[in-house]
Amino acid sequence: MTNEIAISSQALVKRFTGQARTVTAVDSLSFEVKHGETFGLIGPDGAGKSTTTRLILGLLRRDGGASSVLGYDSMRDVYEIRERTGYIAQQFALPGDMTVLENMRFFADLHGIPRKQQKSSIAELLKFAGLTEFSARPAGRLSGGMKKKLALACSLIHRPQVVLMDEPTLGVDPVTRREFWNLLGNLRAEQGLAIFVCTPYMDEAERCNQVGLIYKGRLIAQGTPASIKKMVPGHLLEFKPDQFVHARELVTGMAGVLELQTYGAMLHVFVDEIQRRQGEIEQALSAQSITWSGMRVIQPRMEEAFISLVKRQEAVDEG
């Protein structure tokens, strides 16, 4: 059971035809999500994350390839999928004038869950989401974080085996984000749910078992967060120069510098060899009377890897 494929996408294609040109929003995308696994689809704005989600759910018509959920074809078996899948859209709407409890009942009714059964499962989900004491509050008067948790609870009312979420924690504070991910962790670990999540948060990508990097509709990297981080060559040096622009230009052209990223007022420099290059960089900065602070070697995170991989792809595309 645990190794069964919950979501499958094989060479999936979606094109949007406008007046002037046709855009391939999803370009031959292939991946699989197993039960008990969290798959994170990450990519820049407009890369095709939401479109992919909608294709998998059968909300959009594909132009090529295949996709399925629990073995059901996304286009043919829409209702079978809907009965077994939870979905939180990026802009979900919970009726604001209905209370938390009424919202839950509303979604339960939509899914045809008998009233008798509703009682216990709603109570259970409200407890799970930490919303029990807010049952009587209108959804419109919940905080942003609580709304997200309510959306999650509503999407689970029919006990789905698969949940798809499109940027579920957008605009949510760190405390609530942590709580939300703990809830997801419980769902995955205790109930073996397959979770598919689109996110712009790189630290959330690190919490996934598998990650797909999508860029211009294509998957440019796929694997565990650890394996993706290993795709970035070299070592990472961080420092804060006092003359930022000057330092950036100076370091860019130096031997052994593989890549340069900026991070606020700091520079992140990927080099082939730490000891040697750190010394050379320090010398070069001093020679130009540029001072710096906080020179140190850091481990690349998902974010540095992501930026590096996307930039490399951009360079390939531009030839």
Partner 1 sequence: MRVDPMKATIEVGATTEAPATDPVIAEELTKRFGEFTAVDRVSFRIHPGEVFGWLGPNGAGKTTTIRMLLGLIRPTSGNLNVLGYDPVKQTKTMQAHVGYMSQLFTLYNDLTARENIRFYGKVYGLNRSALAQRQQEIVQMAGLEGREDMLTANLSGGWKQRLALGCAIVHNPRVVFLDEPTAGVDAISRREFWGLIYAMAKKGTTILVTTHYMDEAELCQRVGFINQGRLVAAGTPDELKQTHMRGQVLEIDTPEPDRTVRVLKEAQAQGRMPFDEVALYGAQIHVVVPDAEGNRQPIRTLLEKENIPVTAIEWILPTLEDVFISTVRDPAK
Binding site for partner 1 (CB under 8 A): 43-47, 143-145, 167, 170-178, 181-182, 185, 188-189, 200-203, 206-207, 225-226, 240, 242, 244, 261-266, 293, 301-303, 306-307, 310-311
Closest C-alpha among 11, 4, 82, 94 to residue 52 = 11
Question: Would you say 33 and 210 are in contact if contact means Cβ atoms under 8 Å apart?
Answer: yes
Is the Cβ of residue 117 or residue 143 nearer to partner 1 in the bound state? 143
Residue with the two structure tokens 């405390």: 175
Is the Cβ of residue 72 or residue 180 nearer to partner 1 in the bound state? 180
> How far apart are CB 217 and partner 1 at their closest, in Å?
13
> How far apart are CB 225 and partner 1 at their closest, in Å?
6
The 3-state DSSP composition of the chain as helix, strand, coil percent (nearest 5) reads 40, 30, 30
> How far apart are CB 200 and partner 1 at their closest, in Å?
5
> How far apart are CB 108 and partner 1 at their closest, in Å?
27
Is the Cβ of residue 58 or residue 225 nearer to partner 1 in the bound state? 225
The rounded distance, in Å, linking the Cα atoms of 42 and 39 is 10
> How far apart are CB 63 and partner 1 at their closest, in Å?
22
Residue with the two structure tokens 């509303």: 106
Q: What is the DSSP letter of 13?
A: E
Question: Would you say 54 and 12 are in contact if contact means Cβ atoms under 8 Å apart?
Answer: no
Beta-bridge mates of residue 39: 196, 210
Is the Cβ of residue 114 or residue 171 nearer to partner 1 in the bound state? 171
Is the Cβ of residue 122 or residue 307 nearer to partner 1 in the bound state? 307
